[in-house]
Amino acid sequence: MSKATSKQVDTPVRLRQPVLDARLARNWRLMVGVTIASTVGMAVAVAPVLGEQFGSIWPWPNTHLVLLGGLAISVVLLVAHLTVQQRRLADIHGEVRCLEGAVQHLEEESIERERQNQARLKALLNISRMMGAVNRLDEVFRSVIDTCIELFHAHQASLMLLNSSTNELVVRAAKGHPEIDKVKAARQKVGEGIAGWVAKNCHPIILGPNIDLRRYPGLKVDPSQLTAAVVVPVLLRDELIGVLSIRSRAVGAQYVEEDLQSLRVLAENIGTVIRHSEHVEWMRKTIEARRASAEHQPVG
């Protein structure tokens, strides 16, 4: 959570504190004043019945009864007023506690998000180092899929590469699917399904039960069957290489823009290592061909 956000959330709490202090002070002064007045009134009311030594100082008979009735009414009004004020103070106190809870929740969420970002950055660095050290693409792909499952708390992850000759996406690595063998043998035409839509448009998408499909014209899926997922294209210099996707089946799971950006970074690394591997393979075959040609040339 940014400092600006924390300041905005904390401002109502600071503004409420003077109001609480003022109401408490006013209620205290009111209680003290009414108590003193009630005590004096009771003393004056009771005084005539104590004896004739005080004298008859009242202009009408049974004045002490009037004073006692007024005292009772004053006490009732005081109790009623203090009860109302106490309820208001309790409501304000409840609002303050809710705000404090919201601030604490945002702080915890911010700390957790920061921890996730640090873990993802570390994983990306490890993947980058591994990509430079490992020459076998299958090992790289498996490592990327394992990293996606761990970092994004996903239940499924898959990597599909484009076969330009057939215009199909071919699964090269997958994990978490019920029938993994069928998934690894699957092919999907560019433009068909979710992965096909991403491949055709070269545009990433974030999916979920409440997704607004109007954001993705041409994508035809049943919204009620969607779970939390992120699908990104694997690009290299705007050239489509494949599609990388993650999916979570957890209740209430939801991916956000930060998840999409992290997955895009992984996808960019995959595109780079594929091209690097292709260049290495081309160089290896070229060197072998030249060696074979040199060995068959007669020595003159």
> CA 261, CA 265: separation in Å to the nearest integer?
6
80 lies in the same domain as 187: no
Residue 300 lies in a domain: no
- Strand, helix or coil at 74? helix
89 lies in the same domain as 190: no
Counted domains in the chain? 2
Residue 131 lies in a domain: no
Is residue 157 over pLDDT 90? Answer: yes
What is the DSSP code (8-state) at residue 265? H
275 lies in the same domain as 167: yes
pLDDT band for position 170 (cuts 50, 70, 90)? very high
Determine the length of the chain.
300
> CA 26, CA 78: separation in Å to the nearest integer?
13
Residue 37 lies in a domain: yes
> CA 57, CA 123: separation in Å to the nearest integer?
94
pLDDT band for position 92 (cuts 50, 70, 90)? confident
**71, 99, 117 - which closes a domain:** 117
How much is the pLDDT for 5?
A: 43
pLDDT band for position 190 (cuts 50, 70, 90)? very high
16 lies in the same domain as 98: yes
How much is the pLDDT for 127?
A: 65
Is residue 53 over pLDDT 60? Answer: no
80 lies in the same domain as 162: no
185 lies in the same domain as 102: no
How much is the pLDDT for 87?
A: 79
Residue 136 lies in a domain: no
CATH of the domain at 160: 3.30.450.40
**100, 117, 134 - which closes a domain:** 117
pTM of the complete model: 0.58
Residue 132 lies in a domain: no
Query: In terms of residue numbers, what domain contains 154?
Result: 144-287
267 lies in the same domain as 161: yes
Is residue 69 over pLDDT 50? Answer: yes
Residue 182 lies in a domain: yes
**φ, ψ dihedrals at 236, nearest 5°:** -140, 110
149 lies in the same domain as 111: no
**φ, ψ dihedrals at 144, nearest 5°:** -65, -45
Residue 33 lies in a domain: yes
**φ, ψ dihedrals at 87, nearest 5°:** -65, -40
First-to-last alpha carbon distance for the chain, in angstroms, is: 77
Residue 87 lies in a domain: yes
Q: Which region among 33-42, 45-54, 141-150 has the lowest average model confidence (pLDDT)?
A: 45-54
158 lies in the same domain as 282: yes
List Cβ neighbours of 14 (8 Å cut-off, separation of 6 or more): none
Mean of pLDDT values over 107-114: 79
